[in-house]
Amino acid sequence: MISILGAGAFGTALAVSMQRESDARTVWLWGRNADAMAQMQASRETPRLPGVTLPDGLTCASEMSALPDHGPILLATPMQTLRALLTTHADQLSHRTLVICCKGIELSSGLRASQVLAEVLPDATPATLTGPSFAADIARGLPTALTLACGTAACAETLQTQLSTHNLRLYSSTDIIGAELGGALKNVIAIACGAAIGAGLGESARAALLTRGYAEMQRMAAALGAEPETLAGLSGFGDLTLTCTSEQSRNYRFGASIGRGEAFDPAVTVEGAATARATHDVATQRGLDMPITAVVTGLVEARLDVATAMDMLLSRPLKKE
Q: What is the pTM of this model?
A: 0.95
Domain boundaries in the chain?
A: 2-176, 185-314
pLDDT at 321: 79
Residue 48 has pLDDT above 90, yes or no: yes
Q: DSSP class of residue 315?
A: T
pLDDT at 24: 67
- Residues annotated in a binding site for sn-glycerol 3-phosphate: 103, 131, 133, 186, 239, 249-251
Q: 291-300 and 271-286 helices cross at what angle (nearest 10)? A: 130
pLDDT category of residue 23 using cuts at 50, 70 and 90: low
Q: DSSP class of residue 170?
A: E
In the predicted model, what is the mean pLDDT of residues 134-149?
97
Domain 2-176 is found in CATH 3.40.50.720 = yes
Distance CA 193, CA 243 (A): 9
pLDDT at 245: 97
pLDDT at 21: 73
In the predicted model, what is the mean pLDDT of residues 47-64?
95
CB 181 within 8 A of CB 224: yes
Residue 251 has pLDDT above 90, yes or no: yes
**What does the DSSP assignment read for 31-45?**
-S-HHHHHHHHHHS-
Per-residue pLDDT of 71-82, as tens digits, reads 999 999 999 999
In the predicted model, what is the mean pLDDT of residues 26-53?
96
- Residues annotated in a binding site: 6-11, 32, 103, 131, 133, 135, 186, 239, 249-251, 268, 271
CB 21 within 8 A of CB 166: yes
Q: Please count the other Cβ atoms lying within 10 Å of the Cβ belonging to residue 289.
A: 11
Per-residue pLDDT of 257-309, as tens digits, reads 999 999 999 999 999 999 999 999 999 999 999 999 999 999 999 999 999 99
Least confident of 115-124, 185-194, 311-320: 311-320
> Who wins on pLDDT, 23 or 105?
105
pLDDT at 316: 84
Distance CA 255, CA 133 (A): 19
Tell me if residue 319 is catalytic.
no
C-alpha distance from residue 205 to each of 62, 110, 196, 197, 319 (Å) = 45, 29, 7, 8, 18
- Phi then psi for residue 242, to 5 deg, are -65, -50
Please tell me the class of the 185-314 domain.
mainly alpha
In the predicted model, what is the mean pLDDT of residues 196-215?
96
Of the residues 186, 206, 219, 280, only one is catalytic, namely 186
